[in-house]
Structure formats: structure tokens, C-alpha cells
Homo-oligomer: A and B are copies of this chain.
């Protein structure tokens, strides 16, 4: 059986990827990361989905990284910007080098387990804003992953070239429970419906003629 470690935020994209990997027959262990994000509700959702699918989930405590990594996602004094996901202002929500940090830990775990395979849910909608979701980043981290240990580690990114609407379509076919996913960056009890990630999410459901099952303010 193919074995893999999934970087799993509990958001829409990585939850769909979890179902996708299960459907492909992978044995999966998931890693979630507490990096001091305001929307730590995604970690509760990650736990619930993993419990439902009987998949191991470990939360890695990196919350003290918020002292050294500047981002609106983690800074108490800085508000999450509203507006379109593609807007320049969304760059405030970049956590510098977040994906390389999470992937490097996932790779270390995969090596320790003898899995030698990791996955993460970068998709085409992220390319403009997040440097560490671009195809060139994926290409270079793949090349690095081949030489980080005595044996190469493989990096799977099956959603790299598709949109969030495509992901919702795939997930709906796979029976993903989107009520157990979280996207909003603000971190209130209900989703704000106004931040870039809420807008992108709502549009993805709308394009598929579907209603997002989570509650909005």
C-alpha cells in the first residue's frame, strides 16, 4: 500500500485532498500546524474530519513562530483585509515561507515513518498571492526532496493546476463533508463572508451550483 504524509490545514482544499488520497488507496497520516493563526478553528475541523475518516492527525505546535514571522494571519494588531482573493492587499496574509516550513517537517516525519512521500493542496488560485504555492516553488521543492535523505522523498500536488471550483467539484463527487472545513481568516465563531478566502470559497460553491454548508455572519 502506498503511504503518505499530508499537510492538512482543515481547510477546503486539503480536506478534499485527504478524501482524494483515500479514494486512491493511500495509507495517510496527517500533520496540522498551530502557527498562531487567528483562525485556529481550522485545527478543530481538521481533528473532526480525521476522526470521521479514521485517519491519524497530529498537531505540531509552532505557535511561537508568530514572534518571528510577520503576517496579518497571526498579528493581533493587524486586521485581515477584506476584498477579492486576487487583490494585492491579500499579500498581507502571506506567512513568510509557511509552506516550506510545514513541508520540511512533513518530509522529516515521512522519512521517520519510512513513507518517503508527502502531499499538500496548492491550487492555481493561490499562484498570484502566495509565492510558496506557485508551480516553480513546487518544481524546486520536488528537486530538493530528492536529495534530503538517503532515499528520495516524493511531493504530490494533484491540485496545482486546477481552481478552487474544480476542487469543490471533485470533493462533492467524493462525498466530502464541507460542513467540517474552515477557510475564513478572521477567526470568529462564524465565517465573515468578506475576507479574500471567504469570497473565493463562496464563489467556488456558486460556480458548481452548490450552497456552502457552513454558517456566515
Chain A contacts to B: CB under 8 angstroms: 31, 58, 60-62, 64-65, 67-70, 95-98, 100-101, 103-105, 107-109, 111-112, 131-132, 134, 136-137, 140-141, 143-144, 146-150
Contact = CB atoms under 8 A, between A and B. Distances in A.
A26 to B, nearest CB: 18
Contacts of A137: 144, 147-148
A28 to B, nearest CB: 15
- Interface on chain A toward B: helix, strand, loop, or mixed SS? helix
Given A96-B112, A100-B148, A140-B140, 17 more contacts: A58-B67, A60-B68, A61-B64, A65-B105, A69-B109, A69-B112, A96-B107, A96-B109, A97-B108, A97-B149, A98-B108, A100-B144, A103-B104, A132-B148, A137-B148, A141-B144, A143-B144
10 contacts: A58-B68, A68-B109, A69-B109, A70-B112, A97-B104, A100-B104, A100-B144, A131-B147, A131-B150, A132-B149
B109 A100 contact: no
B112 A107 contact: no
B108 A131 contact: no
A103 to B, nearest CB: 8
Q: Which of A58, A107, A134, A148 has the most B CB atoms < 10 Å from its CB?
A: A148
Nearest to A105: B101
A170 B160 CA distance: 47
Contacts of A96: 107-109, 111-112, 149
Nearest to A98: B108
A50 to B, nearest CB: 16
Given A132-B148, A147-B131, A147-B134, A108 B140 contact: no
